[in-house]
Structure 1
Amino acid sequence: MEHVPRTDISPLIARSWLLVPASKPELFEIAQASDADAIIIDIEDAVAAKDKAQARADTVEWLSTGHRAWVRINDAASEFWSTDCAALKDVEGLEGIMLAKTESASHVDDTADRLPEGTRILALVETARGVLHVERIANAPATFRLAFGTGDFKRDTATGDDPIALAYARSQLVIASRAARLPAPIDGPTLSTDALADGTRLAKEMGMSGKLCLTHTQAAAINAGLAPSPEDVAWAHAFVRAFEESGGKITDGSDLPRLARAQKIQAQARDFGIEAEATALEQLNY
């Protein structure tokens, strides 16, 4: 398949994060051409121990031939972590690292020490210890963004599938991210396509701005669900216009918070390239 350049969405605001098994290099190009805002080649849970060496080599080869992606490496307590870091240290196409089962700031620090200065690290929090120490993880100098590994967290804590069971953990990631001035965190995947809309809506409601996915077919729905709706953007444009036409007059204590929300929505619309549809809706209603 011919290489297709990816849409330039900053990882600071990326919505769909597609995990691609490193043991299936035939999927790399499919992922590259998908709607996903970011690609993560997975050499951790998606690869059996006996296959990790070959998967790691295939990943390095692909990233060394004009392609770019993040890579999920094995956790810092595993026997594979050191080899993963060494193999990826000088790879030109590496966007950054997702560190599996991050449980302390030292896991992030130690990983950063083995990689080139400035390498971005997504700290994947997926255990009780990780949630307990999430504030320190968020404040580690190399932490770029937090992500929530829901599957492993449920296994570690015997938590069920009901959203309320994971609400505390999700909130901890959101609060820690905000307090550390990080982008909003990335939620775990929704395995059922039928439940994807609800899962994406939940992530947004909890204050998360990204979501992992295991298949490229889910990316478009996640992108739409985590972006402002055309109605939101039309409201934002109308509110800002009315505010400016009034000369910036403050009528009550809600005006400035609403202005900040409207300006944020406008920025997201520009970043995600969804202004045209919203503008058409606004003109229809104006």
Structure 2
Amino acid sequence: MTQSMRPYRSVLYIPGSKERALDKARGLPADAIIFDLEDAVAPDAKDAARATLRAEIDKGGYGDRAKLVRINGFDTMWGNADIHAFRGADIDGLLLPKVNSALDIETLAEMIADVPIWAMMETASGVLNARTIAAHPRLAGIVMGTNDLVKELGCRPGPDRAEIQTALQMSLIAARADGIPIVDGVYNAFKDEAGLRAECEQGRDLGFDGKTLIHPDQIAIANEVFAPSEADLDLARRQIAAFEEVEARGEGVAVVDGKIVENLHIVTAKALIAKAEAIEQREG
């Protein structure tokens, strides 16, 4: 599945140090996995986790879901070893934490040539430089690191996350300007299904491709919310049919359900149908 067509509704963090969790992930319905060598691994377990994760990835069995490895920053004592360990691995990207500027992406790009690069947007500097970060030719996607962002900003987000909306939207606008996927930050209360659903719906409405998750029980809700609904698809198909009908008469505007439908709406409708087809292929 190509990068442009691949769904990212559910992106699950899995600790790189836990062999049992790495094995279980092979059968989970997440669209993507972030194999984490950074926050989820204690300092004295970094080297063992790196070796364990590379061995599990080499075993395969993760299907066509996206496989991202979150390395330690190359300004740490483990970052260089992480980068070296995954040269030639069957992965879809290295996820660089705490990206502050496009220079960070360029530095990693010079260190490894054969792996796409993803950026964690989780610092104030990163958000302010989101446009140039997203524009780097090696950048393949963005992950919002809302926990670290909240910590750095010193804010206390409520249920509507109004306190970090500017950061979310600046990052999303930058990703869309360069046509790369971007996924929302985690929802920490993994047993709160109603809260997770509300935050997924907010992220979807903002325009995110999906949500990062900290527990397998969160996958089903993310997959449901970030997938086109049957009502969405029905409307898209009717918009396309109506527009094709008026276009055949040499006209440029149709009306569906009392609303104007122009070419821009057809572009959106076709993209929605393509997303549904990619999800069907992923799940099939």
TM-score, length-scaled by structure 1: 0.86
2:101 to 100, 104, 107: 104
Give the stretch that moved more between structures: 43-52 or 138-147: 138-147
1:46 to 40, 52, 59: 40
Q: How far did residue 116 of structure 1 move?
A: 3.1
Name the structure 2 match of 1:271. 278
In the alignment, the residues of structure 2 paired with residue 116 and residue 126 of structure 1 have an alpha-carbon distance, to the nearest angstrom, of 24
Instruction: Summarize the alignment of residues 93-242 of structure 1 with structure 2, pairs less than 5 Å apart.
Output: 93-117=90-114, 119-162=115-158, 163-183=161-181, 185-192=182-189, 193-194=192-193, 195-242=195-242
Name the structure 2 match of 1:278. none
Name the structure 2 match of 1:32. 26
Encode CA deviations 1:211-230: one digit per residue, 9 max, x unaligned: 10011221121111111111
What secondary structure, in the 3-state scheme, does the structure 2 residue paired with 1:94 have? coil
Contact 2:9–2:226 (Cα < 8 Å) also in 1: yes
Change (3 A) 1:224 1:10: farther
What secondary structure, in the 3-state scheme, does the structure 1 residue paired with 2:241 have? helix
Contact 1:9–1:37 (Cα < 8 Å) also in 2: no
1:250 to 225, 249, 252: 252
Encode CA deviations 1:74-99: one digit per residue, 9 max, x unaligned: 123222111111111232x2221111
In the alignment, the residues of structure 1 paired with residue 3 and residue 44 of structure 2 have an alpha-carbon distance, to the nearest angstrom, of 35
Encode CA deviations 1:97-154: one digit per residue, 9 max, x unaligned: 111111111211111222233x111100111111111111111121101111000111
In the alignment, the residues of structure 1 paired with residue 217 and residue 25 of structure 2 have an alpha-carbon distance, to the nearest angstrom, of 10
In the alignment, the residues of structure 2 paired with residue 259 and residue 140 of structure 1 have an alpha-carbon distance, to the nearest angstrom, of 30
RMSD (CA atoms): 1.9
2:23 is equivalent to residue 21 of structure 1:
no
Q: How far did residue 10 of structure 1 move?
A: 4.6
In the alignment, the residues of structure 1 paired with residue 31 and residue 138 of structure 2 have an alpha-carbon distance, to the nearest angstrom, of 22
Instruction: Summarize the alignment of residues 50-69 of structure 1 with structure 2, pairs less than 5 Å apart.
Output: 50-67=44-61, 69=67
TM-score, length-scaled by structure 2: 0.87
Code of the aligned partner of 1:29: D
Encode CA deviations 1:26-59: one digit per residue, 9 max, x unaligned: 1112112111001111000000100101101101
In the alignment, the residues of structure 2 paired with residue 143 and residue 15 of structure 1 have an alpha-carbon distance, to the nearest angstrom, of 19
Structure 1 gaps, min length 5: 1-7, 275-286
Q: How far did residue 254 of structure 1 move?
A: 4.3
What secondary structure, in the 3-state scheme, does the structure 1 residue paired with 2:92 have? strand
In the alignment, the residues of structure 2 paired with residue 10 and residue 136 of structure 1 have an alpha-carbon distance, to the nearest angstrom, of 21
In the alignment, the residues of structure 2 paired with residue 217 and residue 50 of structure 1 have an alpha-carbon distance, to the nearest angstrom, of 29
Name the structure 2 match of 1:4. none
Name the structure 1 match of 2:257. none
Structure 2 gaps, min length 5: 255-259
Code of the aligned partner of 2:252: I
Percent identity for Structure 1 against Structure 2? 29
Code of the aligned partner of 1:63: I
Q: How far did residue 9 of structure 1 move?
A: 8.0
What secondary structure, in the 3-state scheme, does the structure 1 residue paired with 2:88 have? coil
Contact 2:105–2:136 (Cα < 8 Å) also in 1: yes
Contact 2:71–2:96 (Cα < 8 Å) also in 1: yes
Matched residue count: 264
Contact 1:18–1:214 (Cα < 8 Å) also in 2: yes
Contact 1:101–1:124 (Cα < 8 Å) also in 2: yes
What secondary structure, in the 3-state scheme, does the structure 1 residue paired with 2:33 have? strand
